[in-house]
Amino acid sequence: MDALYLMFVDPFVQMADAPDFFLQVLWEGLVSGVLYALIALGFVLIFKSSRIFNFAQGIMVVFAALTLVGLYEMGLPAWVSVGVTLLVMYGLAMCVERVVLRPLVGQPDIILFMASIGVTMFLIGFGEFVFGGENKVMITEALGIPTGAIELNPFDGFVLIEEKDLTAVIMAVLLVLGLLLFLNKTAMGRAIRALGDDPQAALSVGISLSQIWVLVWFIAGVIALATGIVWGARAGVSFALEVIAYKALPVLMLGGLESVAGAIIGGIAIGLLEKIFEIYWGQPLLGGNTETWFAFILALVVLLFRPQGLFGERIIERV
């Protein structure tokens, strides 16, 4: 009886009792959620246009953040460092296209996946070689990211919103909106969607695979830099940053590998749910630290019932 009460009644009683705290939990969940969504979007774009499950996305976050901080430490002004890091990510996209994707075109998916693991290993080695292996601090202040906190007082209680987190959310939302606009309103975006739908037909109308691949890997690089900055501002810049990208995996399982909407909704849903579960179920009942695995279990359960993910693109069939 007692256990059942703790599981099914008490959490909701607490939510109702302290709605301001519940809002705080939602906010924290949202912060991670939008970042998961952003990263998942990077995965989806690469998968749709080249059928590669990009294992390197996580390490790209670390690599971008390391490059940014490293350049700043070498004496470049903060925003110049951002610009140069973007150039580096573009260079990386071109190298990946030239050295990995182009020679492997038409190979089985598993080979491409292995190739992306190769890219990961290269980036780990290269990053350590150039910038050293020790942890760094994100140049939050130099970039002008505010570090104070805003206090809100809903329901006569209070919610604390860190300005760092607010920056993260705003930036992620802007990037996601920007990407959606790009995909839906520009010729290049249309070509990315076309390639995802039917690669052969895309080739036949003259869509250049090389151009699109460089573009989507560059987009993934921009996403990596953005997440690296805001997540690095919370947790420092180290190879542990990689972990945030792996949180995109359950998002992809939930949202479907090919669905842009799935990535966004799935990312936010997982961010919110894992936080709520941690606070109201995980900590009181399971000793906490459930955030590391909750999302994966959730995704597995969903997959049992819907193998294509919650938002997998509807497969159009007609004869």
Partner 1 sequence: MVVQTAARQADVGTSNVPGEETILSVNNIEVIYDHVVLVLKGVSLTVPRGGIVALLGANGAGKTTTLKAISNLLQAERGEVTKGTIEFNGDKVQALSSNALVQLGCIQVMEGRHCFEHLSIEDNLMSGAYTRKDGAAAIRRDLEMVYEYFPRLRERRRSQAGYTSGGEQQMCAVGRALMSRPEMILLDEPSMGLAPQLVEEIFEIVKKLNEQEGVSFLLAEQNTNVALRYATYGYIMEAGRIVLDGAADELRENEDVKEFYLGVGGEGRKSFKNVKHYKRRKRWLA
Query: Which is closer to partner 1, CB of 258 or CB of 274?
Result: 258
Q: Which residues contact 299 (CB under 8 A, 6 or more apart)?
A: 249, 250, 251, 253, 254, 270
Q: Exactly one of 68, 123, 169, 202 binds partner 1 (CB under 8 A); which one?
A: 202
Tell me 136's DSSP state.
B
Q: How far is the CB of 174 from partner 1 (least distance, A)?
A: 25
Q: Interface with partner 1 includes 207 (CB under 8 A)?
A: yes
Q: How far is the CB of 204 from partner 1 (least distance, A)?
A: 5
Site for partner 1 in 101-140 (CB under 8 A): 105-106
Query: Which is closer to partner 1, CB of 20 or CB of 313?
Result: 313
Q: Which residues contact 86 (CB under 8 A, 6 or more apart)?
A: 221, 222, 225
For helices 19-50 and 248-255, the axis angle rounded to 10 degrees is 80
Asked if residues 34 and 225 have their Cβ atoms less than 8 Å apart, the reply is no
Helix (H, G, I), strand (E, B) or coil at 186: coil
Task: Give the residue from 15, 13, 275, 31 showing the smallest Cα distance to 157.
Answer: 15
Query: Which is closer to partner 1, CB of 18 or CB of 209?
Result: 209
Q: How far is the CB of 297 from partner 1 (least distance, A)?
A: 31
Contact segment (CB under 8 A) with partner 1 among 60-68, 109-117, 142-150, 200-208 equals 200-208
Q: How far is the CB of 46 from partner 1 (least distance, A)?
A: 18
Q: How far is the CB of 110 from partner 1 (least distance, A)?
A: 17
Query: Which is closer to partner 1, CB of 85 or CB of 259?
Result: 259
Q: Exactly one of 129, 204, 287, 305 binds partner 1 (CB under 8 A); which one?
A: 204
Q: Exactly one of 51, 193, 261, 291 binds partner 1 (CB under 8 A); which one?
A: 193
Distance, in Å, from the CA atom of 228 to the CA atom of 244, rounded to the nearest integer, reads 9
**Size of site (CB under 8 A) for partner 1:** 23
Q: Interface with partner 1 includes 201 (CB under 8 A)?
A: yes
Q: Exactly one of 194, 235, 302, 303 binds partner 1 (CB under 8 A); which one?
A: 194
Distance, in Å, from the CA atom of 43 to the CA atom of 36, rounded to the nearest integer, reads 11
Q: Exactly one of 135, 147, 208, 283 binds partner 1 (CB under 8 A); which one?
A: 208
Q: How far is the CB of 198 from partner 1 (least distance, A)?
A: 5
Distance, in Å, from the CA atom of 266 to the CA atom of 249, rounded to the nearest integer, reads 10
Task: Kindly provide the b/e burial profile for residues 255-291, where b requires at least 16 CB atoms within 10 angstroms of the residue's own CB.
Answer: bbbbbbebbbbbbbbbbbbbbbbbbbbbeeeeeeebb
Q: Exactly one of 203, 240, 300, 301 binds partner 1 (CB under 8 A); which one?
A: 203
Lay out the site mask for partner 1 across 56-95 (x = CB under 8 A, - = otherwise): ----------------------------------------
Helix residue spans in the chain (DSSP H) = 2-8, 10-17, 19-50, 57-73, 78-95, 109-131, 163-185, 187-197, 199-204, 209-235, 242-246, 248-255, 260-277, 283-286, 294-305
Q: Name all contacts of 80-85 with Cβ < 8 Å and 24+ positions apart.
A: 81/139, 82/143, 82/225, 85/225
Q: Interface with partner 1 includes 191 (CB under 8 A)?
A: yes
Q: How far is the CB of 188 from partner 1 (least distance, A)?
A: 9
Contact residues: partner 1, CB under 8 A: 105-106, 187, 190-191, 193-194, 196-208, 313, 316, 318
